[in-house]
Structure 1
Amino acid sequence: MDTAQNTRADVANVRTDGKPAGRERPDPMDFLGIDAMLSEEELRVRDEVRAFVAEGIKPNVAKWWEDAHFPREIAPEMGAMGLLGMHLSGYGCAGKSAVSYGLACMELEAGDSGLRTFVSVQGSLAMSGLHKFGSEEQKEEWLPPMAKGEAIGCFGLTEPSAGSDPAGMKTFARKEGTDWVINGSKRWIGMGSIADVAVLWARTDEEGNPVRGFVVPTSTPGFHAKDITGKFSMRSSIQCDLTFEEMRLPESAMLPGVKGLKGPFACLNEARYGIIWGAMGAARDCYEVALGYAKEREQFDRPVASFQLVQKKLADMMIEIDKGTLLALHLGRMKDAGTLRPEQISVGKLNNVREAIEIAREARTILGGNGVTLEYPIMRHMNNLESVRTYEGTDEVHTLIIGNAITGIPAFR
């Protein structure tokens, strides 16, 4: 290249302010420029939820977590923002895109996994089950108040002896005249003790004993909920044991739109999708806190951010967060296009939760002993993520789902 060509190339790479174009230091919180891939509407949703978390959740959540308290009063606020069932259409729901819903989950979990879990239980599980499979009467009765946060829902699938294997459920519904009578139990049911309605799954005495869904007002005689206490994780959320003793329901309580485990699995995939984004929110919060702390904390007369090993930790965190966020965005675009498969959701859930836990653990080391206190959010995120890793499918289950998709050979049994 001659001198004139060199000069033209130099001029082309200079901005109007005289600085080299495209050579600004990348934003440590958006290193790969992912924000540029989002629409104005997606950014608006993201920023509104981020502001809500900054003002209403982060200043209070350490106390909620320490006291094992779920702030029930936050539900109407979330409803007013359109966060409850926000990816559903009609019946008072916001009808937002999958990407917008994912971004909301990311921001909520940057506050706390327990608060994102509430939105997931309400919208992706209970409301989604009603929306996908309910009768028009069931939808009209429950979805509008649930979207407003005036009514709380729960989703009864997991049992004490049937977690990863829901086909082994023992909760049973028998037909008596035109009624259904249900006996059994469920465990680890989010929001069960404060719920107004449960979307409950039970094996029935229909031919072949298929699993069917039921819409159960929690005031129904025979419905009992008890909080699970002594948790070291998800303390700002509620998980319960449910028991059903000769609980009698009218025929109209059954969800008419589905028969078999494909019903609850369809709802689980909605919740798993939200987790893909949410886990990256928790990871990002840990990274942001660790980065700020490393730049301010001095040891040996210099900030710890100046040490090579600390910079390696921060670089590794940033890379995995941006990779995980790009994965979530790609899967979200596929979901909006109607091409996303359950096995691909498993890739996102397995990878992003696993990486988020490692990021939280590394971030804690940068804070040293201070990292184990509630003054900082990292240990709280770390403990919460251990539950996120287990619910909606363990690492092992998602690994086998992916393995089956790769090989065509199921390895569950």
Structure 2
Amino acid sequence: MFDKLKNAIKLFKSVDLEQLEKISQKVDLSEVLSSVSKMDENQLKMAMKMLTGSKKKREAPPINADFYEVSSKLSAEDQALQMKVRHFLETEIKPIVNKYWLHDEFPFEVIPKLAELNVCGYVYEGYGCAGGTSLMDGIIASEFGRIDPSIATFLGVQSGLAMGSIYMCGSDEQKNEWLPVMQQLKKIGAFGLTEPLVGSATAGGLTTTCKREGDTWVLNGQKKWIGNSTFSDITIIWARDLDDQQVKGFIVRKENPGFSVEKIKDKMALRIVQNGLITLTDCRIPESDRMPFANSFKDTAKVLQMTRAGVAWMAVGCARGAYENALDYTIKREQFGKPIASFQLIQNHLVEMLSNLTAMQTLVFRLSEIQDDEKLKDEHASLAKVFCTMRMRDIVSRAREVMGGNGILLEYNVARFLADAEAIYSYEGTKEINSLIVGRSITGFSAFV
């Protein structure tokens, strides 16, 4: 009995006399001591833990969103580039991104810094480009998306859609004129395919037309949602030839008469991206600015196949950014005296997010391997775009949910990822259009109208 009482008294060692007096006014201390003296060793330890709490603060493990260590498959040189890009984005882009997103403005001051990073046109050979792998190009797109999908989209338009069109469909003269200065971001490009009344149905329904008159082409029509177009030096315009009904591609300069751009305002997603509504009114383009190897929509589709794979990687980055911010928040946010990350329901959401993210990462990794083996098909890129953007939406939604009301505040970042995910889900072909591309591949039947 004496030993038990001796142990029981230890419970009150951490309590000073003033606290003890306050406690005695609320409870009968002799009765408490009597009850405690009847406890066995395990019960006493539990009581002491409840009373004194844990003095040692539990440290959370480092946040690791690459759960299957996909990046470990990269060479040491590529891993170094990945960390260089990540450091740049975390130090130069992350501190300013919420301000520009809120005000629907583009941070033009970062363009020279992006140029110094030297990742624009990463996969192309020559013209100042790195001639790197599609896999590393995807890793870069993911890193950009992890911090800000808007800046990732800006780079995707410049590096993928605009430069890619010239690289794949342009003449040697056009490549030499534009690719070096675009790689250095001294000239900015845009890509004009989507139209107000057509959307993804561009393969057979372009309303923008072109007609040759001698050594000049006359373009008429509109293009909508064209990223970078409000400040781009050139815009790649795709138009239907009135003579043969085939799609042609043109390099349209901002100073061309008959070319005008109106900024699209009041967007809820990718607000940093400056999207424009382009109007072409008897816009006259010299034959020298027509891309000679863009003579049908199949040529356009080659560019889209490449960039669609990049969008899948960007979706991975967006999802990863949301997951990392949410996980960090749940570790630091306390409720009922402990971090909410310790609650079962929160952990279930976190594991669901990580499961989807890991599946996305492994899918796009293999996708880029296929691309580097020059075996990429439309259905490969479309399946990745469908799956990754669907899972991205689920991840950003769960990320907002575990953050409660704070999840809708811009300062916690997840609200921005939640909104931006909606644009990524829709552009480069909607879920439905990409599903039909895959469906045609696996069934042999085309369900396109």
- TM above 0.5: yes
8 A Cα contact 2:294 2:300, kept in partner: no
Name the aligned partner's letter for residue 427 of structure 2. Y
Judging changes above 3 Å, is the alpha-carbon distance between structure 1 residues 224 and 46 closer, same or farther for their aligned structure 2 residues? same
Q: For each residue in 1:137-169, what CA deviation from the matched residue of structure 2 results, as whole angstroms up to 9, or x when unmatched? A: 111111111000010001111111111110211
Alignment correspondent of 2:374: 338
User: What are the ranges of 5 or more consecutive residues in structure 2 without an aligned counterpart?
Assistant: 1-60
Count of residue pairs the alignment pairs up: 388
Match of 1:186 among 203, 209, 223: 223
Match of 2:333 among 288, 292, 297: 297
Alignment of 1:253 with 2:289, yes or no, is yes
Alignment of 1:35 with 2:71, yes or no, is yes
Structure with higher helix content: 2
Cα deviation for residue 377 of structure 1 reads 1.0
Cα deviation for residue 302 of structure 1 reads 1.6
Alignment correspondent of 1:6: none
SS in 1 for 2:292: coil
Alignment correspondent of 2:426: 390
Alignment of 1:372 with 2:386, yes or no, is no
Alignment correspondent of 1:169: 206
Alignment of 1:116 with 2:152, yes or no, is yes
Alignment correspondent of 2:165: 129
Alignment correspondent of 1:402: 438
Alignment correspondent of 2:120: 84
Cα deviation for residue 210 of structure 1 reads 1.0
Q: For each residue in 1:203-241, what CA deviation from the matched residue of structure 2 results, as whole angstroms up to 9, or x when unmatched? A: 1133x2211001111111111011100111110111100
Alignment correspondent of 2:107: 71
Alignment correspondent of 1:362: 398
Q: Report the RMSD for the aligned CA atoms in angstroms.
A: 1.3
CA distance in 2, matches of 1:133, 1:299: 58
Mean CA deviation greater in 27-36 or 197-206: 27-36
CA distance in 2, matches of 1:133, 1:183: 21
CA distance in 2, matches of 1:72, 1:78: 10
CA distance in 2, matches of 1:64, 1:375: 13
Alignment correspondent of 2:241: 204
Match of 1:235 among 271, 283, 286: 271
Any runs of at least 4 consecutive aligned residues in structure 1 with deviations exceeding 4 A, and if so which? none
Residues 134-145 of structure 1: matches in 2 within 5 Å?
Answer: 134-145=170-181
8 A Cα contact 1:42 1:103, kept in partner: no
Name the aligned partner's letter for residue 229 of structure 2. G
Cα deviation for residue 28 of structure 1 reads 3.5
Name the aligned partner's letter for residue 122 of structure 1. Q
Cα deviation for residue 48 of structure 1 reads 1.0
Cα deviation for residue 358 of structure 1 reads 0.7
Which of 1 and 2 has greater Rg? 2
8 A Cα contact 1:77 1:149, kept in partner: no
Alignment of 1:311 with 2:339, yes or no, is no
Q: For each residue in 1:26-57, what CA deviation from the matched residue of structure 2 results, as whole angstroms up to 9, or x when unmatched? A: 97433222222222122122111101110011
Judging changes above 3 Å, is the alpha-carbon distance between structure 1 residues 225 and 26 closer, same or farther for their aligned structure 2 residues? closer
Q: For each residue in 1:285-313, what CA deviation from the matched residue of structure 2 results, as whole angstroms up to 9, or x when unmatched? A: 11111111111111112211111111111
User: What are the ranges of 5 or more consecutive residues in structure 1 without an aligned counterpart?
Assistant: 1-24
8 A Cα contact 2:63 2:327, kept in partner: no
8 A Cα contact 2:436 2:447, kept in partner: yes
CA distance in 1, matches of 2:194, 2:313: 23
Name the aligned partner's letter for residue 189 of structure 2. G
Alignment correspondent of 1:15: none
8 A Cα contact 1:157 1:264, kept in partner: no
Judging changes above 3 Å, is the alpha-carbon distance between structure 1 residues 387 and 173 closer, same or farther for their aligned structure 2 residues? same
8 A Cα contact 1:186 1:243, kept in partner: yes
Mean CA deviation greater in 170-179 or 49-58: 170-179
SS in 2 for 1:243: strand
Alignment correspondent of 1:151: 187
Match of 1:59 among 76, 95, 100: 95
Q: For each residue in 1:1-48, what CA deviation from the matched residue of structure 2 results, as whole angstroms up to 9, or x when unmatched? A: xxxxxxxxxxxxxxxxxxxxxxxx897433222222222122122111
Cα deviation for residue 107 of structure 1 reads 0.6
CA distance in 2, matches of 1:343, 1:276: 13
8 A Cα contact 2:247 2:294, kept in partner: no
Name the aligned partner's letter for residue 255 of structure 1. M
Q: For each residue in 1:85-141, what CA deviation from the matched residue of structure 2 results, as whole angstroms up to 9, or x when unmatched? A: 111111111211101110110110111111011111111111000011111111111
Cα deviation for residue 62 of structure 1 reads 0.3
Cα deviation for residue 412 of structure 1 reads 1.2
8 A Cα contact 1:293 1:367, kept in partner: yes
8 A Cα contact 2:162 2:236, kept in partner: yes
CA distance in 1, matches of 2:327, 2:355: 14
Mean CA deviation greater in 84-93 or 26-35: 26-35
Name the aligned partner's letter for residue 175 of structure 1. R
